[in-house]
Amino acid sequence: MDDIFKSRTSRRAFLRGSAAAVAGSVAGTAAASEPDPLITELQDWASYTGVGVDETPYGLPIRFEADVVRRNVEWLTASPISSINFTPIHALDGTITPQGCAFERHHSGAIELSKEDYRLMINGLVDQPLVFTYEDLERFPRENHVYFCECAANTGMEWAGAQLNGVQFTHGMIHNMEYTGVPLRTLLNEAGLNAAGELSDKWVYVEGADASSNGRSIPMEKALDDVLVAFKANGEALRMEHGYPVRLVVPGWEGNMWVKWIRRIEVVDAAVESREETSKYTDVYEDGTARKWTWVMDAKSVVTSPSPQKPITHGKGPLVISGLAWSGHGRITRVDVSKDGGINWETARLGKQGDTKALTRFYLDTEWDGSPMLLQSRAMDETGYVQPTKDQLREQRGENSVYHNNCIQTWYVNAEGIAENVEVS
């Protein structure tokens, strides 16, 4: 996979490119008939002074970026208090999601819980049930890891057909942050697991402090592996909407398990089978039976630009096709891009080697001749798993699943550069 990271421009190709540029310079380079007043005239910002350092103690994006915000789809849910919004992934680049525009999902609204009022209880099959304060948590050895958090329902509206015309809406129930936190196993060791006996059939039940008291059962094997009790994201405190002051991070597994405002961890000998792991987040098949405990988010990718909210506005010529890929099973090793709806594929360039269970950015640097495209991307992870087509998924699961839709997405880009969410044969 190494050659994916190397520059794909050989010296020969560079020379060829230069020759073409010289030959095409008359036709290809835009000519200005009038001098650009932005250059020839003295502009206000080049003459007057700007704002001082005391203007904005905590900065927000400049007003020109006001459309890079989370959005929701009103008809999806009964109330915005028990609802979801979407990360504007069409407008972001790189891999880290700024907290302020990272999607939110609440079951009973985001709550204000201060560090002083925060308590975390560990009970159940432990040697000594314990209560921790926020300050206690900061005294355990901690780690930093970048992980994606994807709602199991991401792309869920697309099972039955192409529905929402924007990558923010089809794929925006995802964010990717660097978390700082204490490994869950450290806290479990602190309470002592001798009382639990044989650990392989034990579970950890985790529960939030908000009114929904969202609770999920996690197998002990995962709990002792890479789960974090996190209190920082991207270097700063978690935002209220992401569980301030403390949330659970369950790498690679569906977002609902990343319990926010986590208040209790109970070691149990069976899954609790709470509402969120039976009536919700289970996958119904065509014959009416359902799959449960589908925790891992399989490999998935999507082109974020161009996309319906990010049309091509510059016309023919150099075009950067860009997107995101991720897998709950580990690292992304390769992403292929098709411009013809899956007939032919080109291997994209990965921005950098992806972290395990984190977003990876890919680019396909190309020349657009102005003809329509059916853009697709296809991710592969370190297990060799290849992201399936919509038809492959439907063949396995039917159309009623709602959750865990990791199909290949298609954007139809017309000759004007406008992109639309479509399904193809």
Partner 1 sequence: MSKSLSHIFLPAFGGAALAIAAAVVVANRDYGQSKIETLEDRIAQVEAQASAASEMARAEAERATALDVKIAEVQAAAAERMESGVTLIASAPDADGRYGLGRAALVDEIAAWDVDVLPDGRGLPEGSGDVFTGEEVFAEKCASCHGDFAEGVDNWPVLAGGFDTLGDKDPVKTVGSYWPHLSTAWDYIHRSMPFGEAGTLTADETYAIVAYILYSNDLVDDEFELSHENFTAFEMHNKNGFVVDDRSELEYAQWRKEPCMENCKDSVEITMRATFLDVTPEGGGDSVMNHATTNDTPTFSAVAASDTNAQSVDAGTADVAAVDPALVETGEKVFKKCKACHAVGEGAKNKSGPQLNALLGRTIGAIEGFKYSAAFKAAHDEGRTWDETAMTEFLTKPKAYMKGTKMSFAGLKNEDDIAAVIAYLKSFGG
Sites for partner 1 among residues 275-334 (CB under 8 A) = 275, 278-279, 282, 284, 286-296, 298, 308-309
Nearer to partner 1, 185 or 239 (CB): 185
Determine if 77 is a binding residue for partner 1 (CB under 8 A).
yes
Per CB under 8 A, 340 contacts partner 1: yes
Q: CB nearer to partner 1: give 33 or 194.
A: 194
How far is Cα 247 from Cα 293, in angstroms, rounded to an integer? Answer: 21
Q: Are 219 and 269 in contact (CB under 8 A)?
A: no
**Encoded tokens for 330:** 């580990």
Rounded to an integer, what distance in angstroms lies between the CA atom of residue 198 and that of residue 269?
Answer: 10
**76 touches partner 1 by CB under 8 A:** yes
Nearer to partner 1, 143 or 236 (CB): 143
CB of 323 to partner 1, least distance (A): 17
Question: What character string, x for contact with partner 1 (CB under 8 A) and - otherwise, covers 79-98?
Answer: x-xx----------------
Sign, CA torsion 181/186/191/194 = positive
| Candidates 39-47, 92-100, 242-250, 265-273; binding stretch for partner 1 (CB under 8 A) | 265-273
* Stretch 142-161: interaction string toward partner 1, x if CB under 8 A: xx-------------x--xx
How far, in Å, are 38, 39, 40, 41 from residue 35 at the CA level? Answer: 9, 8, 7, 10
235: Cα within 13 Å, side-chain hemisphere: 3
Instruction: Say whether residue 422 binds partner 1 (CB under 8 A).
Output: yes
Q: Judged by CB under 8 A, which of 98, 341, 363, 394 binds partner 1?
A: 341
Q: Which of 26, 30, 46, 343 binds partner 1 (CB under 8 A)?
A: 343
Question: Per rule CB under 8 A, is residue 388 in the interface with partner 1?
Answer: yes
Indicate the residue type of 245.
P
Q: Which is nearer to partner 1, 254 or 368 (CB)?
A: 254
Site for partner 1 in 177-216 (CB under 8 A): 182-183, 185-186, 189-190, 192, 205, 207, 211-213, 215
Cβ proximity to partner 1, 18 vs 278, nearer residue: 278
78 binds partner 1 (CB under 8 A): yes
Contacts of 273 (CB under 8 A, 6+ apart): 217
Name the segment binding partner 1 (CB under 8 A); options: 39-47, 54-62, 163-171, 355-363: 163-171
- Rule CB under 8 A: is residue 266 a binding residue for partner 1? yes
Alpha-carbon distance of 283 to 140, in angstroms, equals: 38
Residue number, 24 or 311, with CB nearest to partner 1: 311
Alpha-carbon separation of residue 337 from 145, 273, 330, 344 (angstroms):
28, 40, 21, 8
Q: Per-residue x/- marks for partner 1, 11-30, CB under 8 A?
A: --------------------
Tell me the three state secondary structure of residue 395.
helix
C-alpha triplet 282, 286, 291: angle, nearest 5°:
25
If binding means CB under 8 A, how many residues of this protein chain bind partner 1? 108
Among 99, 108, 134, 316, binds partner 1 (CB under 8 A): 108
How many Cα atoms occupy the beta-carbon half-sphere of 114 within 13 Å? 2
What letter would DSSP give residue 82? B
Question: Which of 4, 199, 374, 394: binder of partner 1 (CB under 8 A)?
Answer: 374
E-assigned strands of 151-243? 174-183, 203-208, 215-219, 228-233, 236-237
Structure tokens at 247: 């949330």
Strand 262-268 to 119-124 pairing: parallel
Work out the burial of residue 421: count CB atoms within 10 Å of its CB; fewer than 13 is exposed, 13-18 middle, 19 or more buried.
buried
CB of 275 to partner 1, least distance (A): 4
Is residue 414 involved in binding partner 1 (CB under 8 A)?
no
383 touching partner 1, by CB under 8 A = yes
